[in-house]
Amino acid sequence: MKTTWHTPAGTVSRLYRDMLSQPHLLIAGATGSGKSVVINGMIYTALYNAPCDAEFILIDPKRVELIRYARLPHVVKYATEPADMIAALDTAMDITERRYKDMAKRRLTKFDGADLYVVIDELADLMTTNKKAVQPRLQRLAQIGRAARVHIIAATQCPLAAVIPTAIKVNFDSCVALHTRCAQDSRNIMSRTGCETLPRYGQGYYVTPAGTTLYQIPMIPDADLTRICSYWTSPACRTRSLF
């Protein structure tokens, strides 16, 4: 395993851009380990580097982590209530199917438009709300989303099989593994121990098909997050079509 230490200034764009390029991404770790830092970093990078090539569906069961992004013109749907969260997954599936029809019409093997990121702040909350409805939708989206450039970014503090069933997990070949409460949680995330020995906050393993790297996770200052959201929700931006 390669161990790399970086300063935020040198890696924010490169690291988070690589995460955004993954078909799907699981972010897992104990409470307070930095899951929101990773999500904020990815959203900020998408808005900063390629704002016209990114759309979001935000599923926010706790109603606090993603609320700052709810009014962005890039957001197709922001959901906090159980019924709305199911509807948000249906919207993602509808978009995916429309993209496949467009690809078939134009004889494409990969969609050539904007990336759609389905961001789930706490997968455990979503699964416990209505697992019978959520699991087949999430599984199907994970299976067919990549060619349509529909990506799932799912965070959880509870990396158990009940939260991430094997049928869903096999489609997540990349993950960010942060500090965990025990070795078994580490195995559940990245199939090996190690996360339980990480510092409580600030470090994490980035696991992709290319390998595993230990990073000092870059944190975007809150002032920068506020500034970019204020810019994109200003009247001048909201009256202009992005796509």
Residue 87 lies in a domain: yes
Residue 116 lies in a domain: yes
The confidence score (pLDDT) of residue 209 equals 94
Residue 12's pLDDT band (cuts 50, 70, 90): low
Rounded CA separation 97/123 (Å): 23
Q: Domain holding 143: CATH number? A: 3.40.50.300
Average pLDDT value over all residues in the chain = 89
Residue 200 lies in a domain: yes
pLDDT above 90 as % of the chain:
73
| Parent domain of 34 | 2-227
- For 156-214, the pLDDT digits (tens) are 998 887 788 888 889 998 999 999 999 999 999 999 999 999 999 889 999 999 999 99
Q: What is the mean pLDDT of residues 74-83?
A: 95
- For 122-140, the pLDDT digits (tens) are 998 888 888 899 999 999 9
Please report how the helices 82-106 and 123-144 are oriented relative to each other, as an axis angle in degrees rounded to 10.
Answer: 10
The confidence score (pLDDT) of residue 238 equals 57
Residue 197 lies in a domain: yes
Residue 128 lies in a domain: yes
Total count of domains within the chain? 1
Query: Per-residue pLDDT for 31 more than 70?
Result: yes
- For 39-73, the pLDDT digits (tens) are 999 999 999 888 889 999 999 998 888 999 999 99
Residue 236 lies in a domain: no
Query: Per-residue pLDDT for 242 more than 60?
Result: no
Residue 240 lies in a domain: no
Residue 235 lies in a domain: no
The confidence score (pLDDT) of residue 4 equals 39
The residue with greater pLDDT, 224 or 50, is: 224
pTM score: 0.91
Query: Per-residue pLDDT for 11 more than 80?
Result: no
